[in-house]
Structure 1
Amino acid sequence: MLRTRLDLDRIRAARQVIDPVFLDSPLYPCEALGQRLGCAVSVKVETANPVRSFKGRGTELVVSRLGRAAVVCASAGNLGQALAWSGRRRGLEVTVVASRGAPAVKLERIRALGAELELVDGDIEVARERASEIARGRGVRLVEDSLDVETCEGAATIGLELVGGDFDVVLIALGGGAMATGVGYVLKSLSPGVEVVCVQPAGAPALTRSWHERRVVTTESIDTIADGVAGRFPIAEVLEDLLVVADDAVLVRESSIVEGMRLLLEHTGLVVEPSAALGVAAVLEDPERFAGRHVVTVICGGNVDLEAFERWTTPRR
């Protein structure tokens, strides 16, 4: 039995708590994308839901255990939307702290879903500090993505939907680690022959470096368009889980992320945020590793500013 903070029975039970709108997301092979990448490719699409990301699976689980308590979180955008959606459904007051530089589309959706939004100058780590201050000052629950095991076990329900599939590798975007540890835990428990590969931008490498060095490694700055996975301070408990369930963690270049977004648009019709293209980027950078294998990549989010998306993906002339 794998020794992590996660539990299979709790993960199975989570499916009874999470709103069905987030469950059983599409999983299908994409022959055209596979031909371009030189391997069989299936996509697990976590954007076909009200918050356009996988985060709703975790926030549904968190909020279901809170009663009527108010909550606050720091977010790059997707967690805040998901917590606002889940909280509104249950009549909770939700406060989200985000960077002023976060994509406008994410900030607008947080407000539209009824949450109080506070913006800070700086990155997600600054937002986390402010969220902690609010939690202490107001005496409300602080929701900490990836540290709160519910966020990991909610994401782990993706893994339950992958178990039994005819594939060799699952590529998972790596940010705070909730999805990687959750999906990885389920696959290593129930489909141990499947390789779990985590993918992170080279411009935000902290958790990948930590995995390779087997200790928490922090960075002073972030330089990536993949805002959803851009953290500087890995969480020790999350790293301990990741060391148990991940087979590898790799870094990819910004140019590969952009090309991955373009290929997903061209071959699947999906408009995705940069974090969702990390799996495709990993195959682009190391095609020999995946040649002849069946790869599943989790399309984790689709909240992207359309002007930025067009700028990134339109070929320069």
Structure 2
Amino acid sequence: MIEVASLRLQGHARRTPLLSSPFLDEIAGRKVFIKAECLQHTGSFKFRGAWSAVTALPDDVRGVIAFSSGNHAQGVAYAAGLRGLNAVIIMPHDAPAIKIANTRALGAEVVLYDRASEDRDALGAALAAERGLSLIQPFDHPQVIAGQGTTGLEIAQQAAEHGVTSAQVLVCCGGGGLTSGIALALKRHAPDMQVRPVEPEGFDDVTKSLTSGQVVTHALRSGLCDAIVTPAPGKLTWPVLKRLCGPGLVVSDAQALAAMALAFERLKLVVEPGGAVALAAALFLPEQITGDSVIVTVSGGNVDRAVFQRALAGGTGDDARATA
């Protein structure tokens, strides 16, 4: 499915670069390769899964519906628009303003909800039934996982071009769609690479699930790393994560912000907090990583100006190293 999704994505998704910086290598104590999915269409890897799912729908579909804090929302809105489909996106009212605005600008109808008092799944199911819309889930959807897995195909190819065939691959992880997709792709095309999910403190359900061997759930709430604050791994993603992934890594908000600043300073990339956690782990948790090289995903760049200014104002690592 991943390889077929890759064919459908040709000419539509960007083949994002695998970047490096000697300054980041020095901080990490090893070679760091950065898969810059913040440069993907709509500012995150989510376009891959959205396009994979939308193009797998039958020709007579009436429209699509999705729920998301922002990146999946934008990916689905853009993919649906390219195919000429209506899109309804259910978003939390406290999602970053730029993500809500961008989703509307891409032509989707945005329905806001209160994550503290409303059930987004129930709201989505009701709207889907009422309007005859096809639900595209943010991570627990086979075609979405397949689309995200194309990132892993590119990592395998690009790493090999740099002479790297064995490395730990750190992936920013929410519900596990990107992480499980990459793990499946690398299992086939780069079996000596080990995928490790990375999460923010307080939202480390995947890490705790991998440690305990069973799904651990936490309350759904907002956080700095809004893109990856899901309450638990998905029903489809969890078996893949459990079978193929190494131990999870957990970083602080301060470390994520410092990684954002370093990505801007050394790579000229604009990265959102949830998209920076894998880079933060590579830079500030080096003793928890093995090997001469590490590959990280920078999975999104849709950040509000105030949060980005906060990251730049905070500097590039002293506080983060202190909390490591």
TM over 0.5: yes
- State which of 35, 55, 79 in structure 2 corresponds to 1:64: 55
Cα distance in 1 for partners of 2:305, 2:104 equals 19
Secondary structure of 2:107's counterpart equals: coil
- State which of 29, 42, 45 in structure 2 corresponds to 1:51: 42
In structure 1, give the amino acid aligned to 2:70: G
| Number of the residue aligned with 1:269 | 268
Cα distance in 1 for partners of 2:170, 2:76 equals 25
Structure 2 unaligned residues grouped into runs of 5+: 316-324
Does the 8 Å contact 1:30/1:43 carry over to 2? no
Q: How big is the shift at 1:41? A: 0.8
299-308 or 25-34: which moved more? Answer: 25-34
Moved over 4 A (4+): none
| Number of the residue aligned with 1:11 | 2
Percent pairwise identity: 30
Secondary structure of 1:17's counterpart equals: helix
What TM-score, normalized to structure 1? 0.91
Q: How big is the shift at 1:129? A: 3.3
* Aligned: 1:41 with 2:40: no
Does the 8 Å contact 1:199/1:250 carry over to 2? yes
Does the 8 Å contact 2:14/2:41 carry over to 1? no
| Number of the residue aligned with 1:122 | 115
Q: How big is the shift at 1:236? A: 2.4
| Number of the residue aligned with 2:21 | 30
Secondary structure of 2:41's counterpart equals: coil
- State the Cα deviation string for residues 188-239 of structure 1 (Å, max 9, x = none): 2221211211101112122222222222221124463100000114322211
In structure 2, give the amino acid aligned to 1:146: F
Secondary structure of 2:302's counterpart equals: coil
Cα distance in 2 for partners of 1:238, 1:176 equals 7
Cα distance in 1 for partners of 2:56, 2:290 equals 44
| Number of the residue aligned with 2:286 | 287
Structure 1 unaligned residues grouped into runs of 5+: 1-9
Aligned residues: 307
- State which of 123, 127, 147 in structure 1 corresponds to 2:140: 147
Does the 8 Å contact 2:65/2:124 carry over to 1? yes
- State the Cα deviation string for residues 30-53 of structure 1 (Å, max 9, x = none): 222111221111111112233010
Secondary structure of 1:297's counterpart equals: strand
* Aligned: 1:191 with 2:190: yes
- State the Cα deviation string for residues 259-310 of structure 1 (Å, max 9, x = none): 1111111111111001111112212442223476211111110100012210
| Number of the residue aligned with 1:3 | none
Does the 8 Å contact 2:115/2:221 carry over to 1? no
* Aligned: 1:239 with 2:230: no
- Cα 1:238/1:170, change in 2 over 3 Å: same
Q: How big is the shift at 1:176? A: 1.2
Q: How big is the shift at 1:119? A: 0.4
Does the 8 Å contact 2:115/2:220 carry over to 1? no
Does the 8 Å contact 1:99/1:124 carry over to 2? no
What TM-score, normalized to structure 2? 0.89
Query: What is the root-mean-square deviation in Å for CA atoms of aligned residues?
Result: 1.9
In structure 2, give the amino acid aligned to 1:119: L
Does the 8 Å contact 2:18/2:33 carry over to 1? yes
| Number of the residue aligned with 2:314 | 315
| Number of the residue aligned with 1:258 | 257
Does the 8 Å contact 1:125/1:231 carry over to 2? no
Does the 8 Å contact 1:169/1:296 carry over to 2? yes
Q: How big is the shift at 1:148? A: 0.8
| Number of the residue aligned with 2:219 | 220
- Cα 1:295/1:123, change in 2 over 3 Å: farther
| Number of the residue aligned with 1:179 | 178
Does the 8 Å contact 2:275/2:298 carry over to 1? yes
Cα distance in 1 for partners of 2:279, 2:257 equals 10
- Cα 1:123/1:189, change in 2 over 3 Å: farther
In structure 2, give the amino acid aligned to 1:63: V
- Cα 1:209/1:242, change in 2 over 3 Å: same
Does the 8 Å contact 1:205/1:251 carry over to 2? yes
Cα distance in 2 for partners of 1:251, 1:24 equals 28
